């Protein structure tokens, strides 16, 4: 048995030449110290039959142990330096069981067998194996690598991380819309819409629970997917189709405004002013840096927005916050365009797109948005946004459910125009 200070011998379980630490296929040195060809013992493939040679695997595991094909397990002191070469076995080497193999048995089974690990024409030595001949029977470590390549790889990795935008940030936005104009004096305004928007994996999932409708925003595929669970309907509309439909609607509305102005009567002029304000808002901007309040006054409407330029929690860093802000404003741009096509009384998207342009230039995120008509009996709405920078388990379950519902064949997929017609006819 090996002493306490001697390295312990363990059987070589496979014929691979990979380093135990690096697994990089490092080549073992030959008996003369030269590396073998191809990273394989003897320069050939494992198991290849050549005249006068017996394949490496054909000897059997028990014979490999008896022939002394062993490698050394590292001494406990070597754990201090993982790149230290293993110590060779002592001259009176023993097998894995701690017994010396019988010389007669070695002469009987080793005669005529040429092992690939020793190279062609080299027999197993019957004499006690010394450190020089043991070199071909034990697994050796590669030389200690230089630190320069590791530093270069680490620098490249850091540059790649810094150059990659944070697009995988998950967050949610809970929105409540109040009707300020319909509220009585000293009474809380009525909540007319509640919605939840979840951002994950480059997509946005907007749901209105009262309507049972889920709108999936997919900017990478340049489309919206709308799923209506109660009606078992699904449709999709591309960004190009939205742009084309908006362009036709704007052209028709401008022609109608010209016709109203041609009439010249007060009623026609009063009807033309808000329509022109939707097409060309022409906002004037005022910003109060102390309260982070942005005010936009236009022809037919005015905005009052309370904003923030930094997160109010430590759960999100500045880089992720800026990425989330850009994603949210991009989403609201396209949602304003889609809402005009889905809802007959919705405004043209130009006022909201103009507001988002101001927010992007100032790097602001809206917290409350008030939209008011300039007329005395006009509407006055306020939207309050609550941002949550971590999704809950229920949020992720809802997303998986919507993705499964989108992929299922239980929904009837219809064209976007047909979906609009069905939606308007049910209201």
| For residue 9, pLDDT beyond 70 | no
- Specify the residue for token string 């330029």: 309
Mean pLDDT of all residues belonging to the chain: 74
Q: DSSP letter at 409?
A: S
Closest alpha carbon to 73 in 22, 9, 26 = 9
Q: What is the spatial distance between Cα 337 and Cα 334, in angstroms, rounded to a whole number? A: 5
In this prediction, residue 350 carries a pLDDT of 96
pLDDT recorded at residue 244:
97
Tokens of 45: 């493939």
Q: What is the CA radius of gyration of the chain?
A: 38
Give the C-alpha separation, 108 to 112, whole Å: 9
pLDDT at residue 145 greater than cutoff 60? no
pLDDT at 319 over 80: yes
Is residue 232 exposed (0-12), middle (13-18) or buried (19+ Cβ within 10 Å)? exposed
Query: Could you write out the three-class secondary structure of 307-321?
Result: EECCCCCCCCCHHHH
Mention every residue, 6+ apart, whose C-beta is less than 8 A from residue 331.
197, 199, 204, 217, 219
Other beta carbons within 10 Å of 82: 11
Strand partners, 354: none
Closest alpha carbon to 88 in 118, 68, 60: 68
Q: Does the pLDDT at position 170 exceed 70?
A: yes
Average pLDDT for residues 36-42, to the nearest whole number?
45
Q: What angle do CA 242, 248, 254 make, to 5 degrees?
A: 130
Q: By mean pLDDT, which of 92-106, 196-210, 391-405 is the weakest?
A: 92-106
Phi, psi torsion values for 71, nearest 5 degrees: -125, 160
Q: What are phi and psi of 257, to 5 degrees?
A: -65, -40
Distance CA 103, CA 67 (A): 10
Cβ atoms of residues 170 and 392 within 8 Å: no
Q: What residue has token string 């990795």? A: 157
Q: 109: Cβ–Cβ under 8 A, 6 or more apart, which residues?
A: 63, 66, 67
Strands 284-288 and 9-11: unpaired
Claim: this prediction has a pTM higher than 0.85: no
% of the chain exceeding 90 in pLDDT: 44
């Amino acid at each position: 048995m090996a002493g306490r200070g001697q390295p312990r011998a363990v059987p070589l379980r496979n014929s691979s030449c990979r380093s135990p630490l690096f697994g990089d296929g490092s080549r073992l040195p030959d008996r003369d110290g030269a590396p073998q060809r191809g990273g394989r013992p003897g320069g050939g493939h494992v198991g290849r039959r050549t005249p006068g040679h017996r394949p490496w695997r054909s000897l059997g595991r028990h014979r490999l142990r008896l022939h002394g094909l062993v490698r050394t397990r590292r001494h406990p002191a070597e754990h201090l330096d993982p790149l230290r070469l293993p110590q060779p076995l002592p001259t009176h080497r023993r097998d894995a069981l701690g017994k010396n193999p019988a010389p007669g048995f070695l002469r009987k089974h080793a005669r005529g067998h040429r092992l690939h690990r020793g190279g062609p024409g080299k027999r197993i030595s019957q004499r006690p194996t010394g450190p020089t001949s043991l070199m071909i029977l034990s697994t050796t470590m590669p030389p200690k690598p230089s630190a320069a390549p590791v530093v270069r790889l680490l620098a490249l990795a850091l540059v790649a991380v810094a150059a990659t935008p944070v697009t995988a940030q998950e967050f949610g936005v809970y929105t409540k819309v109040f009707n300020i104009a319909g509220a009585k004096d000293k009474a809380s305004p009525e909540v007319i819409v509640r919605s939840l928007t979840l951002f994950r994996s480059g997509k946005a999932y907007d749901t209105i629970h009262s309507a049972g409708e889920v709108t999936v925003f997919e900017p990478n595929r340049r489309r919206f997917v709308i799923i209506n669970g109660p009606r078992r309907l699904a449709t999709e509309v591309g960004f190009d189709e939205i742009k084309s439909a908006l362009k036709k609607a704007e052209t028709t509305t401008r022609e109608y405004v010209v016709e109203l102005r041609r009439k010249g009567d007060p009623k026609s002029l009063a009807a033309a002013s808000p329509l022109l304000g939707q097409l060309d808002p022409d906002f004037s901007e005022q910003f109060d840096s102390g309260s982070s309040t942005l005010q936009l006054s236009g022809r037919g409407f005015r905005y009052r927005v309370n904003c923030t330029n930094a997160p109010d929690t430590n759960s999100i860093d500045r880089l992720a916050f800026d990425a989330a802000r850009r994603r949210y404003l991009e989403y609201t741009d396209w949602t304003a365009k889609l809402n005009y096509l889905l809802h007959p009384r919705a405004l043209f998207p130009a006022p909201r797109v103009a507001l988002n342009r101001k927010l992007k230039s100032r790097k602001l995120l809206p917290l409350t948005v008030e939209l008011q008509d300039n007329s005395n009996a006009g509407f006055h709405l306020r939207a309050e946004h609550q941002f949550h920078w971590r999704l809950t388990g229920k949020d992720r379950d809802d997303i998986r459910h919507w993705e499964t519902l989108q992929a299922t064949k239980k929904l009837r997929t219809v064209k976007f125009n047909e979906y609009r017609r069905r939606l308007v006819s049910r209201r």
